[in-house]
Every structure is written in structure tokens, then in C-alpha cells.
Amino acid sequence: MRPLDHWTRRCAACGYMAAGLTPGFGRGVDGLAPVQRVNDKATLDEIRRHLGSGGKSLLDVGCGGGGFLERAAVAGFRAEGIEPAPDAERTANGLPIRPEAFPIKPVDGAAYDAITFNHSFEHLPCPAKAAAASSGLLRQGGVVALQLPSSQGTLFKLASFGRRAGLFAAWELLWQKGLPSPHLHYFNPGNLRRLFERTTDLRLISTQRLQAVRIPGLWRRIRCRLSAPSALVAFTMLALAVPLLNRLPPDFILCVFRKPAPPRQPAR
């Protein structure tokens, strides 16, 4: 892999990127909740499209305070979560949250119809082990759904250009450098598919764009890393660009993988 700077590197063949940052647990970027609510609905709708409805079991990895769990329960799933952050709530309106890091070992042969990584997969130290563990926890015919940032996104490309020009603020913000849980990886749909195909029996069945920027919450997202004058400039530019960004290559994507179902027995 070719170094991009003293802490990031890139695979010239597939475009996968990795950061030499210290993995950690904890709160991420402020102001993402309005975006997350919209994207969580899209994720649950896509999972139900492939699994149908009716009490399917769901495990959310890196569930934080349990917002996605609560939305999944409302959508009809039997939901539980995993969250290793020491200050995390252990229940979300009665839904169980296990205080563990992923990968985990099955409990009493537990298997799930759906496993979700909502902006958690890119924070894990070893994505190959996480992918393999997901397959082991999943029932046949089940799905793994990943919300994650894309290295092919418009804002990521602009930040990359800025880094080459000696402007590092946007680049460090997108990697969440200096925050308790930085991004350790950046994927695109192609190299993410190759990772799962190389390490699991899961196969990519859908990819779709998610929203990365909405006006509500945007100021808090920018202000957490920039001074007030710089944040005001960035906020104004992004707010004006939101309609265009929704048409350009997305910075947040949803990728869904399915575990093959057993072949049907011929009728006798």
C-alpha cells in the first residue's frame, strides 16, 4: 500500500485506504442525528425488502445509545445491540445492549436474520475478522447491512484534493482524527465487495446512496473541529451545495450482503 501522508495509505490496485490511528470507543461527530434518522429508515426499508416482515432478529454492532435499535423495534424487528463504549447505556427503551467489542462469540447458538453496522465497520481494527464473524452469526438467507462512508464520495474527493494542496482540516475531519473513535478504513463498493467475497460466503445484493449532508445539525458537525470563522465559511458553502451534493457521487452508502439460503429439496 502506498503512503498518502505520515498516517494514511492507499492500495493502488483497489483504492482501499487505511489510517495508522489508534482505535477507540466513544462519541463521534456531533450533529449527525438528523442525517442518521433518514438513513436508518432507508436501511430498515432495504432489509425488510429482502427479508420481509414478521419479527426477524437483528443485531446492531456499535449501537451507541440505541437510536437505531429503537427504530428497528418500531419497524417490527427483535433488536439487540453491541456497544463497547464504557459510558454507553445498556438498554434502549428495554432493548438489550451487550457491553462487548465485535467480533463476539455466539451465545447459546444465537443466530440473527440481520446484522447491521451503522457507521461502525470503518472503526473496527480488523474488518476481515468482522466480516467473517458476521457470517458466522447469520442465519442462512440472512443479510448484513452496512452504512459507511465512501472513498468515492464528492466531499471525500474534495478533501483529498485539499490534502494534496496542503489543506488538511477537511481531510482530518472526514477521518475523525483526534476524536475518541477515528476512522481506520475507507472503502468503496468494489473493494468492500471483494473483502466480503474473499473472507465469507456473503454476496453483495444491493448498494444505494445515503444522505451525508442535511442542514439540520450541520453547524454542530463542522464546529466540532473548526474555529468559528472557518466553520461559518464551511457551513455557508455546504448549505448552498446540499442540492448539488444530493446528485453527485454520495459520501455515505448502504451495502447489503446476503448469506446463501440452503437449496430447496425437490418435491417428492
Asked if residue 10 lies in contact with residue 2, where contact means CB atoms within 8 angstroms, the answer is: yes
Percentage above 70 pLDDT, the chain: 90
Asked if residue 183 lies in contact with residue 176, where contact means CB atoms within 8 angstroms, the answer is: yes
Q: Which helix (H) or strand (E) holds 135?
A: helix 127-137
How confident is the model at residue 148, as a pLDDT?
A: 97
How confident is the model at residue 25, as a pLDDT?
A: 79
Percentage above 90 pLDDT, the chain: 62
Q: Would you call 84 exposed, middle or buried from its count of C-beta atoms within 10 A (0-12, 13-18, 19+)? A: middle
Q: What is the pLDDT of residues 138-166, one digit of tens each?
A: 999 999 999 999 999 999 999 999 999 99
Least-confidence region, from 54-58, 59-63, 106-110, 202-206 = 106-110
What is the rounded distance in angstroms from the CA atom of residue 266 to the CA atom of residue 263? 9
pTM: 0.89
How confident is the model at residue 267, as a pLDDT?
A: 59
> How many Cβ atoms sit within 10 Å of the Cβ of residue 266?
5
C-alpha cell at 108: 447459546
| pLDDT, greater one: 98 or 61 | 61
How confident is the model at residue 53, as a pLDDT?
A: 74
In the chain, beta strands by DSSP E: 2-3, 8-10, 17-19, 57-61, 78-82, 91-92, 95-98, 112-118, 138-149, 185-186, 203-210, 252-258
Cis peptide before 103 (omega within 30 of 0): yes
Q: Would you call 79 exposed, middle or buried from its count of C-beta atoms within 10 A (0-12, 13-18, 19+)? A: buried
Give whole-number Cα distances, 31 to 129, 158, 206, 217, in Å.
30, 21, 28, 4
> How many Cβ atoms sit within 10 Å of the Cβ of residue 99?
11
Mean pLDDT, residues 181-208: 97
What is the rounded distance in angstroms from the CA atom of residue 199 to the CA atom of residue 145? 16
What is the rounded distance in angstroms from the CA atom of residue 118 to the CA atom of residue 145? 8
Residue-averaged pLDDT of the chain: 88
Q: What is the pLDDT of residues 209-229, one digit of tens each?
A: 998 877 777 767 777 666 788
Q: Is the pLDDT of residue 266 over 70?
A: no
How confident is the model at residue 87, as a pLDDT?
A: 64
